[in-house]
Structure formats: C-alpha cells, structure tokens
Chains A and B, each alone.
Chain A
C-alpha cells in the first residue's frame, strides 16, 4: 500500500515536471516574473494593498494597476469601494459614495488671487500636515452666470480631457446652482456592470454633454438676512432610500442608467433649476441644512461641528437628509456633509455616504459663491 502511494505521488510529480519544463525554459530566457502564477501575483498585490492603506503610500496600489492588464485586473478585484473600505484609491473614487460608517475628513484651501480652490484628503488630525490632493476648482465668471470648473489636476482646467471632472454653475443671482458631472453615467453603464468597469478610467466627454446631477438652492429664512440661510440640495442621481438600512445603493443605480425617462426614474425630466418638489417626488435624495440654535449668552447661531470648524461664518453648514413627507427617523439625524472655516483661506469639509467627494466639493463651492444672507 505504501509503495503504491509513493508511486502515485511520483507519477504526479513526473507529470508536473513535464508541465513545468516549458516554464523553466522561458525562465532561462528572462521572462520568469511575467509568467508568475496568478495566485502568487495575487498574494503579492493583496499584501501591498493591505499595507499601503493611506496616502501617499497608496500611490503604489494605483501604480500596480498601471503595469499591465493582468496586474490591473487583480488590483481592481482587490480594491474595495470607498463606501466599504473608507479609502480613496483611484481617481474614480472621487465620484463614488463616501464611507458608510464615518465621515471622511477633507480640507479646502482657497487661493483668492487665482480664484482657485484646492480639495485635499486629510491624512492626519493636524491641518498643517499636507493632505492628498483630490480636486481643484477654478471660478469663471460669465455674462449671465458663474461656472466653477472642477478638475482632477491642480493646474489644468481644460474641458476636453479625461481629467475634467465636471462643473458647478450658478444662476445670475447666485441663489440657485446646478452640479454637472463631466462623465456620462451612460458611458459607465455601457462599459458593463462589473466592478472593474466601475473602477475604470474616467472617459473623455465633450463639455456640451455635461450631466446635471444635483441642484442646490439658497433662500433667506424667516429672519431675513439676520438669520442663517436655508439650503436645499436635490441629488438627482442618489435614491432617497439610500440612507435607510437596506436602501438602494447609488452606485448600483448608476449602472442601471438613471437617465432613461421612465416613470420610476428618480431623475427629474426637466433640466431647469426649479425642481425641488418634483425631485423629491421622483425619489431623489434631498439634503437640507441643519438649523442652528440661537445661543442667548453668546448672541449667535450655533451648530455643533465637533471641533472641525473653529471660525464663525455664514458659509458654515451641516447637511442632513430631509424626511420625505413623513416622520424623521434616525437616518435623518446623521450629518452627511459638514463644511466650515478654520483659517483665513482654510476650510474643513467632512462627508460620508451616499454622496461622493466630487458632489460634496461642488456643494461647498456653492456656499462660497452664494450671496444670500451675507452682510
């Protein structure tokens, strides 16, 4: 019996020897690493992804995805969406919903002379440490409106490239804004429903085919310009149910092509900016700013920013989900976006699921631009 076992093992080994001979020949030719078995390559790349979890080291994960097709495929399988991992990895991460479990801390630096805003991912608790650059926005004033061009590059705002992320357009009065996505969700859906397509490149789209993904409006409250302004953001591409446990995921919705004009679409059919009520009826998420409380002793309006905002400003806000014609539940208490001043040209921006960092940045830019309740 023992002899038979050995014989069987030996025969298996002989077969393996024969299979491995061609590899050995190739190895002598210097292609050994290119022929590394997939499972071994997987282990190597998995280890890199796990160990390089924060920036700037995370760049190694992105670099591995640029080596060749097989490396790219493996990296795309390994890297989890930001909403699950809390990590931003590829450029496309800026268009994906933020983490479900916590706020992701970012900060914005303003350059007044160039009218440019730079968004960074915070890497430490100290704002004086450099962050990971995410997006930049440059203001372009036009005769009837103002545009903020948003780009993945710090100094390149050209619109015909795959680094153009989108723009924020303000109406003449600065009371209503539209956020346009520079990438077509239809192009994303056509690439397929697989995870790898979600992580694929931002495709080049002509500027004329920007896609309205959100509408923002500012109003005075009852106290007029003496009180905090009211904000409302209608997120066309995010289902309202996404904030509820077991609700629809905005990423899945994007793959199902929300720009079809079906009765079940939660995208408003009209391109005008006056759609707040119909957007809500169509099922898109509506965000409103949390009302500050009047502090009698300090004689000012107060919000609890948990230490992330230190200078009073009418621009500071916290956004929560608006309850849709019903009682407010615990999911309407969660802060989804928080923005505020901490220095002369320095602001913190914290956001979470279901909005993306691109959407959060655009909403914050509108807060810079609007003139409502500024005395």
Chain B
C-alpha cells in the first residue's frame, strides 16, 4: 500500500504545513499547480500562499474532517467551525475563493446568507457588513415605502 504523499505548503507569512496529498488537492488551485509538475517533484513542493496561516490551517482541518466523520457529526462540526465573527468569516471566504475549495466556499456562502437573514431590516444589514447606502435620496424614499409592503 502506498503511503499517502504529503505536500508541504508555505503560506505568505512563511509558515509551512504538511498536508496529506488527498486533502491538499481539495483545493482546485493546488491541484492545478501540482499536476503541472512531474510526480516526483510535487512531493515537498512549496507554494506561496496569500491567505493567513490560521485560515489555511482551518481550511485543512475542514477538509480533513470532511473525510472522516458521518453526516450528523459533520453538520454539528460544521456549525461550530463556522461560528466565527465577521472578520474571520471574511478571511475564510477569501481563502476558500483563492484556493478554490468548493466545499468550504459552500459553507461560507451559506453562513454569510445566515448572517444576512438574521438581520432585522435593511439598515441592520448595512451596519453588519459595513456597506454604505449609495441610493439617491428619492430612490431611497421610494424603496423604503415599497419595502413596508415587504413586512405586512
């Protein structure tokens, strides 16, 4: 039986992670990069990563756990994993997008949606996400009045 090969991945802040190959290639980006070199060379391959060390680690953990536990435990684990504040969630989002990890992207997208739905109204959504209201005054007034229909 072949020992699973490990990839060594280096993040932008120069931390090195040893990751099982089967997990590393959950990231489409890494998979693309590793298939471009011959099979011997990608062992201990070093890649520069942009995201921070911590979220890279989290991404690995996520993928690792995905492979190991059954559905119920997975959904419990996932809800705990995504119980992070807005800043961390944003980092996870950027990391998942950059590394092209589909399962992580799905999880983050859903979590962001949950945050939006938890907001009582439009103003709270803006505050939570730090978004400016860039509507013209008249348009804003029209939207506001029509939105009262939304809540009847």
Contact = CB atoms under 8 A, between A and B. Distances in A.
A30 B148 CA distance: 31
A68 B136 CA distance: 10
Given A16-B50, A44-B112, A63-B150, A34 B122 contact: no
A6 B130 CA distance: 39
Interface string A203-230: 1100000000000000000000000000
Contacts of B47: 9, 13
B110 interface: yes
A204 B141 CA distance: 12
A31 B130 contact: yes
Nearest to A152: B149
B2 interface: no
B116 A64 contact: yes
A60 B50 contact: no
Q: Describe B's contact surface by its main secondary structure.
A: helix
A323 interface: no
Interface in A33-74: 33-34, 36-37, 40, 43-44, 47-48, 51-52, 57, 59-60, 62-69, 71
Contacts of B43: none
A9 B32 CA distance: 10
Contacts of B38: 2
A20 B50 contact: yes
Given A153-B152, A161-B145, A201-B146, A47 B113 contact: yes
A16 B98 CA distance: 10
Nearest to A56: B151
B87 interface: yes
Contact of B33 (A9, A40, A63, A153): A9
Interface residues of B, number: 45
Q: Describe A's contact surface by its main secondary structure.
A: helix
Given A2-B38, A33-B86, A44-B116, A68 B133 contact: yes
A201 B143 contact: yes
A163 B146 CA distance: 7
Nearest to A33: B129
B121 interface: yes
A259 interface: no
A153 B121 CA distance: 18
A343 B47 CA distance: 71
Interface string B84-107: 001100100100010000000100
A67 B139 CA distance: 12
Contact of B130 (A5, A30, A69, A133): A30
A94 B61 CA distance: 48
A67 B149 contact: no
A98 B84 CA distance: 42
B14 interface: no
- Chain B CB within 10 Å, residue with most, of A6, A27, A163: A6
A47 B110 contact: yes
B131 A33 contact: yes
Contacts of B41: 2
Contacts of B132: 34, 68
Interface in B120-147: 121-122, 125-126, 129-135, 139, 142-147
A178 to B, nearest CB: 25
A174 interface: no
B70 interface: no
B124 to A, nearest CB: 9
Contacts of B117: 48, 52, 57, 60
B44 interface: no
B79 to A, nearest CB: 16
18 contacts: A6-B37, A9-B47, A17-B50, A27-B90, A32-B130, A44-B112, A44-B113, A59-B150, A59-B151, A63-B116, A63-B125, A66-B147, A67-B122, A67-B125, A67-B131, A152-B149, A154-B152, A201-B146
Interface of B: 12, 33, 36-38, 41, 47-48, 50, 86-87, 90, 93, 97, 105, 109-110, 112-113, 116-117, 119, 121-122, 125-126, 129-135, 139, 142-152
